[in-house]
Amino acid sequence: MTNRHRCMEDGCDANAIECVIPGGSQHEDVPEWFCPTHAVTAGYCGGCGVFIAGGDDRFDCGASPFCEHCREADDDEEDTDGD
Ligand SMILES: [Zn+2]
Ligand SMILES: [Zn+2]
């Protein structure tokens, strides 16, 4: 066995990222593993796997499946191109 994790989504065999709920007292120490696509589907950031579902800004404008941190990183990259 390798250290590689597979997506928990049934039928999905993609490499997974660790999905965690920040400060989650209900699900502590029970990380889930999803590929970026299914992480987003399950309510996690597609970039780092932090849980973002239920946040006021999630899909606020049909927009970002990423947490603020990842959005900032993405914006920063775009800035280097357009600013
Ligand atoms: Zn998947
Ligand atoms: Zn993120």
The mean pLDDT of 17-32, rounded to a whole number, is 73
Q: What is the pLDDT of residue 37?
A: 94
Which ligand is in closest contact with the Cα of 9?
A: 1
For residue 61, report the distance from its CA to the centre of ligand 1, in Å: 24
Q: Which tops the pLDDT comparison, 35 or 26?
A: 35
Which residues have C-beta within 8 Å of that of residue 66, sequence separation ≥ 6?
45, 46, 47, 52, 74
Does 41 score more than 60 pLDDT?
Answer: yes
Residue 17 burial (CB count, 10 A): 23
Six-digit token pair at 25? 């007292």
CA dihedral for 59, 64, 70, 73, sign (positive or negative): negative
How many residues comprise the chain?
Answer: 83
Q: Which amino acid is located at 78 in the chain?
A: E
Does 27 score more than 90 pLDDT?
Answer: no
pTM, entire model? 0.68
Residues with CB under 5 Å of ion ligand 2 are 45, 47-48, 67, 70
Average pLDDT, the chain: 77
